[in-house]
Amino acid sequence: MKTNRRDFLTTATAIGLGSGLSLNAADPPPRTNIRYCLNTSTIRGQKLGIEKEVQVAAAAGYNGIEPWIRDIEVYRDAGGSLTDLKQKIADAGLKVESAIGFANWIVDDPKARAAGLEQAKREMDLLKQIGGTRIAAPPAGAHRSPIQADLDGTAERFAALCQAGESIDITPQLEVWGFSQTLSKLSEVLYVAAACGHSNSLVLPDVYHLYKGGSPFEGLRFLSPETCRVFHLNDYPDIPRDKINDGDRVFPTDGIAPFNEVLKHSGILKIENPPTLSLEVFNKSYWRRDPLEVAREGLRKMKQTIASS
């Protein structure tokens, strides 16, 4: 039997994912052309499982969800039906905007890289079965030490990943990892995406990673609706670049990120078809809280960021 978003809100209350489900009365009016997405890392520490993560995202009022491939695999391996999961996501009024995987598509060793591509294909097939169309492509496996390939060589490796995705109807998004020894800067990611030779290649920026890697926010003006469809929105405290780490990320407006610059240079507020804004944080203090409260607060602060810019 099909359910709908109202059913999901009722279910979320029943399973104890928080008490109030509506946004606060003081929430800013929404911009109707901007979509908001919950990256499940934000509530990953509560270990809810993908089904309850979907319920939380729907109950909190998000438009989309960005799950981790590992959680989908756990659900499947426990006997869960991917067809049923796809339907539950749709019934909740959500869209799978992206997904997080860590295939080693970029590494130097040819055998390891080939294995990474095969892993990526499996992950993309899994994602397609639940309604996804895009997957994050970070420099996993090449983040602890630089790879031997230059940017043109890296572009060839990304081209192979894009080709694999094309056969499955999933588009890889080249992700900036500010802490990485490879592709730590937006300029490098833009070059590789442009040089790979695929007209559907995408990039995936992240406010924290831009700061961590030392990318000027002015570089965001080179993004367009054709090159960026998901943007990781988060904030960071006043910690030096060489000291800050992934777990220090906080909700938008709770840190020092210059959102006026971010939104100005990215053009998010000007274009008719802006990228989906996905909340991605790994803050352990949030993981100790009620997941629905965390998701609701994150959404409210994302909307405040947009409304005040």
Place of tokens 């959404």: 299
What is the pLDDT tens value at each position of the chain, 309 positions in all? 455 555 555 555 444 454 433 334 355 555 668 999 999 999 999 999 999 999 999 999 999 999 999 999 999 999 999 999 999 999 999 999 999 999 999 999 999 999 999 999 999 999 999 999 999 999 999 999 999 999 999 999 999 999 999 999 999 999 999 999 999 999 999 999 999 999 999 999 999 999 999 999 999 999 999 999 999 999 999 999 999 999 999 999 999 999 999 999 999 999 999 999 999 999 999 999 999 999 999 999 999 999 997
In terms of residue numbers, what domain contains 263? 5-307
* CATH number, position 38: 3.20.20.150
d(CA 147, CA 109): 10
Assess contact for 85 and 143: CB atoms under 8 A: no
d(CA 211, CA 207): 7
> 3-state class of 210 per DSSP?
helix
Its pTM stands at: 0.90
Task: Find the radius of gyration of the CA atoms of the chain.
Answer: 19
Tokens describing residue 107: 């590494």
d(CA 187, CA 220): 9
End-to-end CA gap in the chain? 43
The total number of structural domains that make up the chain: 1
